[in-house]
């Protein structure tokens, strides 16, 4: 049995009875047992429930009962998305024992379609980080080379898909957290338009910019998952009510006659040579398939990292204020503490990156600094959006490398937050402006490390974005993972 098949292939094989769902899930669990000691993509594996559910689905298939469109496909879910009955830790000591009493909307929609949640994937604590090194439960490693980081913060999601520990995954993308691990692990990752997917049940880090996003082996799988999880949700006032779109239909539409803007600021200085050269190859391949590529300058991007960390940290400082260990949390005696002392003692259990961002956020929001930092950052955000609006009058898509550099070694940048923050430069534009962006695996470096290419489209143009991503995917010829 090949665990490396795509999610869509799995569905057709399961439907036709070529494979047994139970067997596939059991094999997947064996795989996890075998490789996850090294990769550490999972925080929690829900083996028994997964097998039980798989058995039920097999019965349904045999008796030709109505079955949801996922046919028991095993998925990993980033551990900041609430799953009823399974711990949702956010890779933090603060939620070490937290079991949500409800399912996130994306989870209930997947369950309705008979997807199987095989486990909860590792992440940087509360999704703050670009490498998955800042997890309370220890780092996730890149399945292509265990000495390297898998990207982040949805590193567990990216690694679990790449290492065949599940068929697909849901991550969350606040500043690139779906696309960074997709790029570093050689899988596809989509950050949808803000408001396309419900955030109900996604534990908030920076609620004005983040979205849940699918990670999978193929663009088609991403489109398949998007069909299930996207759309208006009465539990989230920020979701758009645009009606149903079928992202799978016409996926192979091609890009003939489309215009693609090459973002000048993202392929010049500071970009790794091999990454730049891969990007240029991608551009010429797209041109050969009928797209017209022109350079586009977005100079507001210069300020995007500063603006992003100001806004995201400000929102984080407020969103994470509720973790005071009063209502839920970890074992911690209350005896002998007055309220404020208790709260500050309990909250000293956040990890270093979360602490850093909460402090930064509290600072930029404090009296006298709000205008100087937070409002200014919001102005940069508006400027970026305005420049993108202009750009999308001229082109259908924008293109850049997803990450400016190749995956690096675990521990290499952990002590230099500023350097780490700068690796987000290509991804945060989509978050600050709300537009969709996708990372498509494109090639391997000479050292065997994955390189991903990023495509952007205008707000709610996911269908067109996936069509272009599919074309790009078809041009690449990538090796099978050996693990």
Partner 1 sequence: MTKIGLEIHCQLTKLASKLFCSCKAEYRNLEPNSNICPVCAGLPGSLPLLNKKAVEKATMISLALGCTIPEKIGFFRKNYFYPDLPKNFQITQYNAYGPTSIGSDGKIEIEGKTIRIRRIQLEEDPGRLVYEGTSEKTMITLIDYNRAGTPLVEIVTEPDFETPKQVRVFLNVLADLVENIGVSDPYLEGAMRVDGNISEGDGNRVEIKNVGSFRDIEKALHFEITRQQSLVERGITVQAETRHWDEARRITVSARSKEEEQDYRYLPEADIPIVLIEHHSIEQIKMQMPESIVARRERYVKKYGLPPQVSDVLSSDKFYSDLFDKAHNEKNAKEVSNIITTDLMGFADTREKKLELKITPKHITDLADSIMTNKLTRNSGKTALQEMVKTGKSLADVISSLDLGHVSDVGSIEKIIDEVFKEEEKAVSEAKQNPDTINYLVGKVMKKTKGKADPTTTLGILRKKLSA
Rule CB under 8 A: which residues touch partner 1? 81-82, 88, 90, 95, 98, 100-102, 104, 199-204, 207-208, 234-238, 314-315, 317-318, 321-322, 324, 326-328, 339-340, 343, 362, 365-367, 370, 374-375
Choose between 18 and 341: whose C-beta lies nearer to partner 1.
341
Of 206 and 262, the one with the shorter C-beta distance to partner 1 is: 206
Q: Which is nearer to partner 1, 202 or 305 (CB)?
A: 202
3-state DSSP of the chain: CCCCCCHHHHHHHHHCCCCCHHHHHHHHHHHHHHHHHHHCCEEEECHHHHHHHHHHHHHHHHCCCCCCCCCCCEEEEECCECECCEECCCCCHHHCCCECCCCCHHHHHHHHCCCEEEEEECCCHHHCCCCCCCCCCCCCCCCCCCCECCCCCCHHHHHHHHCCCCCEEEEEECCCCCHHHHHHHCCEEEECCCCCECCCCECCCCCCCCEEEEEECCHHHHHHHHHHHECCCCCCCCCCCCCCCCCCCCCCCCCCCCEEEEEHHHCCCCCCHHHHHHHHHHHHHHHHCCCEEEEECCHHHHHHHHHHHHHHHHHHHHHHHHCCCCCCCCCCCCCCCCHHHHHHHHHCCCCHHHHHHHHHHHHHHCCCCHHHHHHHHHHHHHHHHHHHHHHHHHCCEEEEECCCCCCCECCCCCCCHHHHHHCCCCCHHHHHHCCCEEEEEEEECCCCCEEEEEEEECCCCHHHHHHHHHHHHHHCCCCCCCC
| Least distance (Å) between residue 137 CB and partner 1 | 17
38 has catalytic annotation: no
Nearest distance, CB of residue 367 and partner 1, angstroms:
5
The answer to whether 439 is a known catalytic residue is no
* Closer to partner 1 by Cβ: residue 144 or 323: 323
Q: Which of 157, 423 has the CB closer to partner 1?
A: 157
Q: How far is the CB of 201 from partner 1 (least distance, A)?
A: 4
- Minimum CB distance to partner 1 smaller for 156 or for 201: 201
Closest to partner 1 by CB, 134 vs 194, is: 194
Minimum CB–partner distance for residue 359 and partner 1 (Å) = 12
Whether 153 is catalytic is yes
Provide the minimum distance between the beta carbon of 310 and partner 1 in the complex, in angstroms, as a whole number.
12
**Which candidate in 20, 76, 78, 443 is catalytic?**
78
Could you tell me the smallest distance in angstroms from the CB atom of residue 366 to partner 1?
5
Annotated catalytic residue, options 76, 130, 135, 153: 153
CB of 86 to partner 1, least distance (A): 13
Question: Which entry of 92, 160, 177, 183 is annotated as an active-site residue?
Answer: 177
Catalytic residue numbers? Answer: 78, 153, 177
């Amino acid at each position: 049995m090949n665990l490396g098949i795509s999610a869509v292939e799995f569905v057709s094989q399961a439907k036709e009875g070529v494979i047994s769902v139970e067997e596939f899930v059991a094999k997947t669990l064996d795989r996890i047992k075998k490789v996850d000691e090294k990769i550490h993509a999972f925080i929690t594996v829900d083996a028994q429930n997964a097998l039980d559910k798989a058995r039920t689905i097999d019965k349904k298939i045999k008796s030709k009962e109505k079955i949801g469109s996922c046919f028991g496909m095993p998925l990993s879910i980033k551990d900041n998305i609430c799953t009823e009955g399974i711990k949702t830790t956010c890779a933090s000591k603060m939620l070490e024992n937290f079991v949500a009493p409800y399912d996130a909307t994306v989870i209930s929609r997947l369950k309705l379609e008979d997807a199987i949640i095989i486990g909860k994937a590792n992440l940087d604590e509360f999704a703050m980080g670009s490498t998955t090194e800042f997890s309370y439960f220890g780092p996730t490693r890149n399945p292509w080379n265990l000495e390297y980081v898998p990207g982040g913060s949805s590193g567990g999601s990216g690694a679990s898909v790449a290492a065949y520990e599940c068929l697909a995954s849901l991550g969350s993308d606040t500043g690139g957290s779906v696309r960074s691990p997709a790029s570093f692990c050689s899988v596809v990752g989509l950050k949808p338009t803000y408001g396309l997917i419900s955030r109900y049940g996604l534990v908030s880090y920076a609620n004005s910019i983040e979205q849940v996003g699918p990670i999978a082996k193929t663009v088609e799988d991403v489109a398949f998952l998007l069909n299930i999880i996207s759309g208006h949700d009465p539990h989230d006032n920020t979701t758009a009510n645009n009606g149903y779109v079928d992202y799978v239909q016409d996926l192979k539409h091609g890009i003939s006659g489309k215009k693609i803007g090459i973002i000048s600021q993202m392929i010049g200085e500071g970009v790794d040579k091999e990454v730049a050269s891969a990007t240029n190859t991608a551009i010429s391949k797209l041109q050969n398939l009928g797209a017209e590529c022109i350079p586009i300058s977005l100079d507001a991007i210069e300020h995007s990292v500063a603006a992003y960390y100001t806004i995201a940290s400000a929102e984080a400082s407020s969103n994470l204020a509720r973790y005071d260990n009063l209502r839920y949390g970890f074992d911690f005696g209350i005896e002998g503490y007055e309220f404020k002392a208790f709260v500050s003692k309990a909250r000293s259990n956040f990890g270093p990156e979360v602490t850093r961002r909460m402090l930064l956020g509290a600072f930029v929001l404090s009296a006298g600094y709000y205008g100087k930092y937070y409002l200014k950052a919001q102005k940069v955000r508006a400027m970026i959006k305005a420049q993108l609006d202009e750009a999308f009058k001229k082109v259908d898509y924008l293109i850049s490398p997803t990450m400016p550099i190749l995956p690096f070694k675990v521990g290499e940048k952990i002590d230099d937050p500023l350097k780490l923050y700068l690796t987000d430069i290509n991804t945060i534009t989509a978050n600050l402006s709300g537009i969709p962006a996708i990372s498509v695996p494109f090639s391997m470096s000479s050292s065997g490390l994955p390189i991903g290419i990023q495509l952007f489209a205008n707000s709610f143009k996911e269908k067109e974005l996936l069509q272009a991503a599919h074309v790009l995917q078809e041009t690449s010829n990538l090796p099978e993972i050996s693990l």
